[in-house]
Amino acid sequence: MMMADVLLRGRWKVESSGRHYVQSGRQLLLTLALPLEVTTIAGQIARVGLRQLFADDLAARLDS
């Protein structure tokens, strides 16, 4: 199914709104398909911040 079909069938008046919800759905499905370890690591990285991945004390902060 093409994006235009989804937008038409969903009766989206504004294309950007429809795209937002379709993308959110894709992200949710991908999250559900990921192994727990990947989800856990992603959460830890989000908590400490992506910029901090290059800091010397990263391992200590991830363990906390």
| pLDDT tens digits in sequence order for the chain, 64 residues long | 676 777 777 777 777 777 777 777 777 777 788 898 988 888 888 887 877 777 777 777 777 6
Range of the domain at 58: 34-64
pLDDT score for 7: 72
* Same domain (yes/no): 55, 42: yes
* Same domain (yes/no): 43, 26: no
pLDDT score for 11: 73
pLDDT score for 64: 66
Distance CA 51, CA 28 (A): 25
DSSP the chain: --HHHHHHHTT-SSHHHHHHHHHHHHHHHHHHHS-HHHHHHHHHHHHH-GGGGGSTTHHHHHH-
* Same domain (yes/no): 23, 39: no
pLDDT score for 1: 65
* Same domain (yes/no): 27, 38: no
* Same domain (yes/no): 42, 28: no
- Total number of domains in the chain: 2
